[in-house]
């Protein structure tokens, strides 16, 4: 069958292909950082490599839709409010809890929520998660605290397990409030496309949606996984109930601090940025042809 390529596009800083690297596929592991993983856990297979400018434009878009990935910078006012309360200096949940009780934190939260409402579709209810404080230096970060295992590349299921409606689930914005960059790991095709590619019996009401990816990773171990750098006071918006993903703090030494909201967020580029993007892209393609 014909496979979809670059189904999930990226809308990020124009021309900055250095933000994106790719792996050679997935590898199954039994432990991460010496801690047991759940059964059939997959993580990116190293090494990571740079992508070409041509591939960057193939992966990117300025006409992002609800099921694409977008990278944004926080408005200067909100960024300065977070800096003023020294949230990046937190090293424990005691520090986080202290800050969350302050009037200054409540004030920045109001500013941030009002900003997000302007980019939230259909007045969908915005759901705020607690601030996350994670370990630095992890290749994959998601940990199931109930089972005490790492889960590797995965699919979120806050809304529903129904495969056919996942593209209508809330997407999420994850804001980096730490001192150093963190990373989003992702596949550029959806869980639905993965199911089709492996001929998964999605009509079976007892199917396990999490096993779709595990089956895909075994069938297509060389399908690349991409990594996007998210610098401090930047955020990614992604359809994490529709795409396989994880986070990474590899190469960092300070705690990973992030704040997540779920909604139906859509950030669009203005006409000037779109025109610049297309001009650069077309120029590269033209040079390739001649």
pLDDT per position as a tens digit, 87-119: 999 999 999 999 999 999 999 999 999 999 999
Q: How far apart are CA 257 and CA 177, in angstroms?
A: 5
pLDDT of residue 33: 87
pLDDT of residue 200: 84
Which CB contacts under 8 angstroms, 24+ apart, belong to 163-168? 163/191, 163/192, 163/195, 163/202, 163/209, 163/212, 164/192, 164/202, 166/190, 166/191, 166/192, 166/239, 166/241, 166/242, 167/66, 167/67, 167/192, 167/239, 167/242
CB 28 within 8 A of CB 42: yes
The reported pTM is: 0.91
Instruction: Show the tokens assigned to 249.
Output: 């703090």
The gap from C-alpha 100 to its chain's centroid, in whole angstroms, comes to 25
pLDDT of residue 202: 65
pLDDT of residue 1: 40
pLDDT of residue 129: 96
Q: Classify residue 212 by its DSSP letter.
A: H
Residues of the chain with pLDDT under 50: 1-3, 14-15, 271-273, 285-290
Tell me whether the omega of the peptide bond preceding residue 214 falls within 30 degrees of 0, making it cis.
Answer: no
pLDDT of residue 14: 46
pLDDT of residue 61: 84
CB 130 within 8 A of CB 109: no
pLDDT of residue 158: 92
**Beta-bridge mates of residue 31:** 36
pLDDT of residue 290: 40
């Amino acid at each position: 069958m014909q496979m979809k390529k670059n189904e999930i596009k990226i809308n990020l800083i124009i021309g900055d292909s250095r933000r994106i690297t790719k792996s050679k596929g997935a590898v199954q592991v039994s432990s991460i950082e010496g801690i047991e993983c759940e059964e059939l856990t997959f993580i990116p297979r190293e090494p990571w490599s740079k992508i070409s400018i041509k591939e960057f434009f193939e992966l990117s878009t300025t006409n992002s839709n609800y099921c694409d990935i977008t990278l944004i910078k926080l408005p200067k006012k909100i960024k300065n409010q977070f800096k003023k309360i020294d949230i990046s200096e937190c090293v424990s949940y005691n520090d986080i809890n202290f800050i969350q009780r302050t009037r200054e934190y409540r004030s920045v939260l109001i500013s941030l929520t009002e900003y997000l409402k302007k980019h939230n579709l259909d007045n969908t209810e915005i759901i705020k998660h607690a601030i996350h404080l994670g370990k630095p230096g992890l290749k994959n970060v998601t940990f199931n605290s109930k089972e005490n295992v790492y889960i590797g590349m995965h699919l979120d299921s806050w809304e529903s397990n129904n495969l056919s409606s996942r593209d209508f689930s809330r997407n999420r914005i994850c804001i980096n409030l730490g001192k150093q960059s963190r990373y989003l790991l992702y596949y550029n095709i959806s869980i639905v496309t993965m199911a089709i590619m492996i001929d998964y019996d999605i009509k079976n009401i007892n199917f396990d949606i999490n096993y779709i990816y595990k089956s895909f990773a075994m069938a297509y171990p060389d399908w690349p996984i991409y990594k996007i750098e998210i610098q401090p006071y930047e955020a990614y918006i992604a359809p994490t109930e529709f795409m396989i993903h994880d986070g990474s703090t590899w190469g960092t030494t300070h705690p990973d601090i992030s704040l997540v909201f779920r909604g139906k967020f859509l950030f669009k580029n203005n006409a000037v940025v779109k025109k610049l993007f297309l001009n650069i892209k077309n120029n590269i393609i033209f040079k390739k042809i001649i």
